[in-house]
Amino acid sequence: MLLYLLRRILYTLPIAIGVSMVCFALIHLAPGDPLSAVIPEGASPEVIAQIKTAYGFDQPLPIQYFNWIWRAVQGDFGMSIMTRRPVLSEVGPAVVNTMILAVAAVTLGFGLGVGLGIAAGYTAGSPIDRVVTAISVSGVSVPHYWLGMVLIVIFAVNLGVLPAMGMGAQGSATFALDWVSLRHLILPAIAMSVIPAGIIARSVRGTVIEVLKQDYVQTLHAKGLPGRRVFVHVVKNAAPTVLAIMGLQLAQLLGGSILVETVFSWPGTGFLLNTAIFTRDLPILQGTILVLSMFFVAINLMVDLLQSVLDPRIKRA
Amino acid sequence: MVATTGGSIVSDAPLKGRRPVSRSFWATARRRLSQDKVALVCGSILLIILLAAIFAPLITPHDPYRTSMARRLLPIGDARHWLGTDELGRDLLTRLIYGGRMSLFMGFAPVVLATLIGGFLGIVAGYCGGAINMLIMRVTDVFYAFPSVLLAVAISGVLGAGLVNSLVSLTLVFTPPIARVAESVTTQIRNQDYVEAARATGASAWRIVFGHVLANVTGPILIYASSMISVAIVIASGLSFLGLGVSPPNAEWGLMLNTLRQSIYVAPMNAILPGVMIFITSMSMNLISDSLRASMDVKV
């Protein structure tokens, strides 16, 4: 077991290095010079060479990569070209905000998905099952940024009960655990929760049907255990799969929040990325993508480890 | 009372009577699909959207690019503009029909490209094994280790807006998962006895790949790829929605959502209309993919 955990962690290292290389390469994919936003117009070749040296762009690529990753590991992601502030001080708060939104959305999606999935699994083939299946297919098919707009139309424009933009009063960019902030969280969280809700409902339904067919459930029924107690067994057996899916969805939402954040002007990483793309602020772009993808790799690893701890049946070679 | 049909205990009919018709894998799948009502309905919807998009100039009542300051944001149900007009006074129905061209193309093209590239890489990796497998699959793993939307946005964001750049970024997003499916199926096939036998009789690698591997890999890859199309439609429109895809004044559903978003307080119904098209298309594609999976009876 311990050996497996260790090996799984070791296996993640090369992936993480590969991911960082892709993030590094991104800047060099960009058309034009990565320094074009820094170099003043009409600068002489000497000045350009000077700036290049200052940013380390005169060195060969592998050395540039090692310098970059070495600084990044120490928390130095460079300076934003637009704000002249350290990238980390821009990315840090944004990651927190995105995390709040993603966790809220996954929690919501989890509740909805598990509830619907269990209802459908227990009544497989019935009209309830068919309705749930329709809901979950809609959930995975709907463009969530569009759903965000629909929610704005209903709750902000027509009913006027919930705010459509931002995170708190007067464009606040820090989340406080109060009513104002929570009200701002509701709509984007709902918009983002539909995909995990649909996926979780689908898999819970499948797992419940699968578990109910097992011999031990028959035995439990046969020995007269009340349905309520059998249900506990069903939940226990379905939990590892569902938890794994939930973790993976959380990871996807962290990286995929850009669209919903743009619709609701939520000051998270998506919003930051969007701004960085259109101002060609490459250090911010690179830093945000690196941080988010590392989170993605780490969450995937944790889900895997947690699953093998939770479910001793998973014997891995 | 003697003649009992289906479900009788003494069912020796297959032994005496006609030989049961044996159908090929593809014939069975086609038969099951043609009896699947959901697949037929969704297929018809997609076909209508596709045909409308192709023959857009013949059936649309207006010019998709003709703007009119006087007729901006007319409501849905207008006598001349049935689905109203957009923020520049262009006919929405016309633009929705034209929009299908770009949106469908951006949904299908990256998946088709990714299927060809990913399928090729996966089969090579699975068939060759060893160091080549290592090399291909580890690179695939790295790209697989990005959240899909983030990877698409990152590449499009760095390369800049535009049709070709979106196509490149989306193809890069969908290639790794397809390569993975192709690799795992190919590895399974490679170790089958009949492939071993073929190799023993002196069949060339090409012959084994085209005769055995391809025949087995095509089904799972097609099913997987079909489930990617609805994702591709949503992400591609998302890129346009962010301003990273098709550029104005082209008609594309995501881009239309983007520009109409500014008018959400003035004409909310018009503003959300393009999203309905994205939703219908992606939902139809999802349901078709589910039916395909059921008809081929493959677990991916």
Q: Closest residue of B to A136, CA-based? A: B283
Q: Do B278 and B234 contact (CB within 8 A), yes or no?
A: yes
User: CA of A147 to nearest chain B CA: how many angstroms apart?
Assistant: 8
Q: Which residues of B touch A285 (CB under 8 A)?
A: 154, 157-158
Question: A23 and A106: one domain?
Answer: no
Flag whether A83 is in a domain. Answer: no
Give residue B5's pLDDT: 42
Question: A41 and A179: one domain?
Answer: no
Question: A112 and A184: one domain?
Answer: yes
Q: What is the CATH number of the domain that holds B212?
A: 1.10.3720.10
Query: What range does the domain containing A96 cover?
Result: 92-316
Q: Do A24 and A68 contact (CB within 8 A), yes or no?
A: yes
- Which of A 152-211 lie inside 8 A of B, CB atoms? 152-153, 157-158
- B30 vs A: CB within 8 A: no
The residue ranges of chain A whose pLDDT is under 50 are: 317
Give residue B11's pLDDT: 45
Question: A227 and A262: one domain?
Answer: yes
Mean pLDDT along residues B79-83: 77
B60-69, B89-98, B235-244, range with the lowest pLDDT:
B60-69
How far apart (Å, rounded) are the C-alpha atoms in residues A191 and A259? 10
Question: A175 and A268: one domain?
Answer: yes
- A22 vs B: CB within 8 A: yes
Q: Do A128 and A120 contact (CB within 8 A), yes or no?
A: yes
Flag whether A81 is in a domain. Answer: no
Flag whether A79 is in a domain. Answer: no
Taken as a whole, chain A contains a residue count of 317
Q: Which residues of A touch B254 (CB under 8 A)?
A: 143
Question: A126 and A21: one domain?
Answer: no
Flag whether A208 is in a domain. Answer: yes
Query: What range does the domain containing B155 cover?
Result: 45-55+100-296
Q: Which two tokens stand for residue B96?
A: 């929705």
Question: A8 and A58: one domain?
Answer: yes
Q: Which of A41, A73, A105 is the last residue of a domain?
A: A73
Question: A110 and A50: one domain?
Answer: no
Flag whether A168 is in a domain. Answer: yes
Per-residue exposure over B83-108, b if at least 16 CB sit within 10 Å of its own CB, e if not: bbbbbbbbbbbbbbbbbbbbbbbbbb
How far apart (Å, rounded) are the C-alpha atoms in residues B23 and B295? 13
Q: Do B152 and B192 contact (CB within 8 A), yes or no?
A: no
Question: A109 and A231: one domain?
Answer: yes
Flag whether B3 is in a domain. Answer: no
In chain A, the number of structural domains is 2
Question: A66 and A212: one domain?
Answer: no
Flag whether A25 is in a domain. Answer: yes
Give residue B263's pLDDT: 84
Q: Which residues of B touch A99 (CB under 8 A)?
A: none
Tell me if A285 and B157 make a contact (CB, 8 A cut-off): yes
Flag whether B76 is in a domain. Answer: no
- Which of A 233-252 lie inside 8 A of B, CB atoms? 251-252
More confident site: B130 or A237? B130
Q: What is the DSSP string of B136-184?
A: HHHHHHHHHTS-HHHHHHHHHHHH-SSHHHHHHHHHHHHHHHHHHHHHH
pLDDT digits (tens, 9 = 90+) for B41-56: 999 999 999 999 999 8
Give residue B135's pLDDT: 92
pLDDT digits (tens, 9 = 90+) for A103-121: 999 999 999 999 999 999 8
Judge whether residue B177 has pLDDT over 90: yes
Flag whether A285 is in a domain. Answer: yes
A118 contacts: CB under 8 Å, gap ≥ 6: A204, A205, A208
Flag whether B182 is in a domain. Answer: yes
Flag whether B165 is in a domain. Answer: yes
Give residue B162's pLDDT: 86
Q: How many helices (H) and strands (E) does chain B have?
A: 13, 0
Flag whether B40 is in a domain. Answer: no
Judge whether residue B18 has pLDDT over 70: no
In chain B, the number of structural domains is 1
Mean pLDDT along residues B261-276: 87
Q: Of B136, B146, B159, B281, which to mutate for an interface test with A (greatest number of A Cβ within 10 Å)?
A: B146
> Model's pTM, two decimal places?
0.86
Question: A134 and A34: one domain?
Answer: no
Question: A68 and A130: one domain?
Answer: no
Flag whether B17 is in a domain. Answer: no
User: CA of A30 to nearest chain B CA: how many angstroms apart?
Assistant: 5
Flag whether B240 is in a domain. Answer: yes
How far apart (Å, rounded) are the C-alpha atoms in residues B238 and B194? 46
A136-150, A247-261, B7-21, B259-273, range with the lowest pLDDT:
B7-21
Q: What is the CATH number of the domain that holds A310?
A: 1.10.3720.10
